[in-house]
Structure 1
Amino acid sequence: MADKKPSLAPTTTNPRGIPTAPFVDNVSDYVSTRAEVESTLRSFQEMISKYQFMEVNTQRRGQGLRDKIPDIKKTLEMVTFLQMRRQNNLDPLETNFELNDTLYARASIDPADTEEVYLWLGANVMLAYPIEEAQTMLTEKLAAAELSLANCEEDLEFLREQITTLEVATARVYNWDVVQRRKEKAEGKDDEGSTDKKRPDGG
Structure 2
Amino acid sequence: MASSTDKMETNPRGIPRSPFVERVEDYVSEAEPVEVVLKKFQEAVSKYKFMEVNLLQRRKVLEEKIPEIEKTLAMVGFLTEKQATDEPVYTDFELNDTLYAQAKLEATNSVYLWLGANVMLEYTFEEATDLLGSKLQTAKSSLRNTIEDLEFLRDQITTMEVNTARVYNWDVKQRRLVRQATESS
The RMSD of aligned alpha carbons is 2.0
Is 1:163 aligned to residue 157 of structure 2?
A: yes
Structure 2: runs of 5 or more not aligned: none
Match of residue 11 from structure 2 = 14
CA distance in 1, matches of 2:179, 2:91: 85
Other structure's SS at 2:114 match = strand
Match of residue 59 from structure 1 = 56
Is 1:76 aligned to residue 73 of structure 2?
A: yes
Kindly indicate which of the two structures has a greater share of residues assigned to helix.
2
Is 1:133 aligned to residue 127 of structure 2?
A: yes
Show the 5 A alignment for 1:102-121: 102-110=98-106, 112-113=107-108, 115-121=109-115
Other structure's SS at 2:95 match = strand
Q: Is the Cα contact below 8 Å between 1:48 and 1:166 reproduced in 2?
A: yes
Match of residue 200 from structure 1 = none
Other structure's SS at 2:56 match = helix
Q: 4+ runs of 1 displaced by more than 6 Å?
A: none
Is 1:176 aligned to residue 174 of structure 2?
A: no
The aligned amino acid for 1:82 is L
CA distance in 2, matches of 1:177, 1:80: 66
The aligned amino acid for 1:104 is Y
The aligned amino acid for 2:45 is I
- Structure 1 length-normalised TM: 0.83
CA distance in 1, matches of 2:137, 2:179: 63
Other structure's SS at 1:188 match = helix
Other structure's SS at 1:187 match = helix
Other structure's SS at 2:102 match = strand
Other structure's SS at 2:115 match = strand
Cα displacement string for residues 114-172 of structure 1 (whole angstroms, at most 9, x for unaligned residues)? x1101111111111111110110001001101111111111111111101100000000
Out of 92, 98, 102, the residue aligned to residue 94 of structure 2 is 98
- Structure 2 length-normalised TM: 0.90
